[in-house]
Amino acid sequence: MAEDLKIAKGTKAAIYQSLIPQIKALLDGEPDLIANLANVAAALKEQFGWLWVGFYLVKQDELVLGPFQGPVACTRIKKGRGVCGAAWQNAATLIVPDVEKFPGHIACSSLSRSEIVVPLIKNNEVFGVLDVDSELLDQFDETDKKYLEEIVKPLSPPAGGELS
Ligand code: SME
């Protein structure tokens, strides 16, 4: 059983440096993807208090809503659509400082103002994305990109491919 999360204060980098070993400890030895996604979403939400933190998983040819923390959200996103679908298509992290200026942004919550989406990649294939939304403009930068990419790196799809 995990202990309570230790909430850090300080610079963004210092906060991530405190959080990452705790997330690694939560994931250590647990092969179940959904359990791990649920704990990563909860840990990020608890530490940063962002509006929405969650995952979409590639199933057939769509992203389907997975474990998340925050308001209810759209369940399916097609490849190339919205910020999530674009990050999937490009297999690259996307930082959106102002969602109203991103062509095709999908507004799951009218409160969201800025967003970062980080693809989950295994064997050169995107199997999902981490999506984080903030109610404030311009909340995500290269520091978030670097550490969120590190956080999702240990996540793997199920060996048997039962995602789809
Ligand atoms: N805004 C996202 C959709 C997902 S919600 O923000 C949770 C997008 O444009 O892909």
Q: Write the pLDDT tens digit of every residue in 66-102.
A: 999 999 999 999 999 999 999 999 999 999 999 999 9
Q: Please indicate whether residue 106, judged by its CB atom, sits closer than 6 Å to ligand 1.
A: yes
Q: Check pLDDT > 90 for residue 162.
A: no
Ligand 1 centre to CA of 8 (Å) is 27
Residues 96/107, Cβ–Cβ less than 8 Å: no
Give the Cα separation of 133 and 128 in Å (integer).
16
The per-residue pLDDT for 164 is 61
Assigned token pair, 66: 């997975």
How far is residue 97's CA from residue 71's CA, in Å, rounded to a whole number?
Answer: 20
Closest CA to 152 of 14, 7, 43, 12: 43
Query: Residue 158's pLDDT is what?
Result: 81
Determine the pLDDT at residue 29: 93
Cβ of residue 82 lying under 6 Å from some atom of ligand 1:
yes
Q: What's the pTM value of the predicted model, to 2 decimals? A: 0.96
φ/ψ bin of 123: left (φ > 0), alpha (ψ from -120 to 50), beta (otherwise): left
Q: Quick one: pLDDT band at residue 161, thresholds 50, 70, 90? A: low
Contact by Cβ (8 Å): 69, 45: yes
CA of 84 to the centre of ligand 1 (A): 6
- CATH top-level class of 12-152: alpha beta
